[in-house]
A and B are shown apart, each in its own frame.
Chain A
């Protein structure tokens, strides 16, 4: 998929633990892990809002569009 999730990079930059972020958003660590690895079909606006609020970033910092070179 051409949408890449850069959440792990932001977490490392901010030195935030996945567990703390998951607690703040209100989702399980398992689901956060799936989100970080891009194995989910979508992200709710509420989840995105909570992530951006906690990490003080923009949605564009987390989700990157990289066109598929073969497409």
Chain B
């Protein structure tokens, strides 16, 4: 498939829509839980008594642990946006694009970790005010928790490929 301006524009639309979804969802969930649960219920919070019984610091901490993976995902989307700008400028093969690929891969790895640990931290926060014996440390592993590893590792491999290809190009440029 050829890279045309329309492809890039379409990709940017997808990035913007994804960014809105990623940023709005956790903010909305914690700012106005009553209206948010009409569209999608967070099982963990409802399972542990809902938003009503939470004290202010639990709201803040709950928001942080829920929003952190989303913030990392948003950062990764911003990096993909930066890549589209580099492609537009014809700089898809220079050190800047290599750096963005590498950073994107690392951010996605952090996202996978944060997204996996987020329910654990949330349950800790939600049960912190309960009496002794009722506080919980729950850790779960599902295959879908690690789906993010695929784009993360792909981005890191692409960064490595760009680095090697640039080194090879530079070497070939020294052959007359």
Q: Give the distance to chain B from A50, nearest Cβ to Cβ, in Å.
A: 11
Within 19-63 of A, Cβ neighbours of B (below 8 Å) are at: 27, 31-32, 34-35, 40-44, 47
Partner of B174, one of A27, A32, A41: A41
| A40 to B173 CA separation, bound complex (whole angstroms) | 9
Q: How many residues of A contact B (CB 8 A)?
A: 11
Closest to B175 in A: A42
| A34 to B174 CA separation, bound complex (whole angstroms) | 9
A-side contacts of B175, CB under 8 Å: 40-44
| A27 to B173 CA separation, bound complex (whole angstroms) | 12
| A7 to B174 CA separation, bound complex (whole angstroms) | 17
| A40 to B176 CA separation, bound complex (whole angstroms) | 7
Q: Give the distance to chain A from B175, nearest Cβ to Cβ, in Å.
A: 4
B-side contacts of A27, CB under 8 Å: 176
Tell which of B171, B175, B176 has the most Cβ of chain A within 10 Å: B176
B-side contacts of A40, CB under 8 Å: 174-176
Q: Give the distance to chain B from A47, nearest Cβ to Cβ, in Å.
A: 6
A-side contacts of B171, CB under 8 Å: 41
Q: Give the distance to chain B from A35, nearest Cβ to Cβ, in Å.
A: 5
| A35 to B176 CA separation, bound complex (whole angstroms) | 7
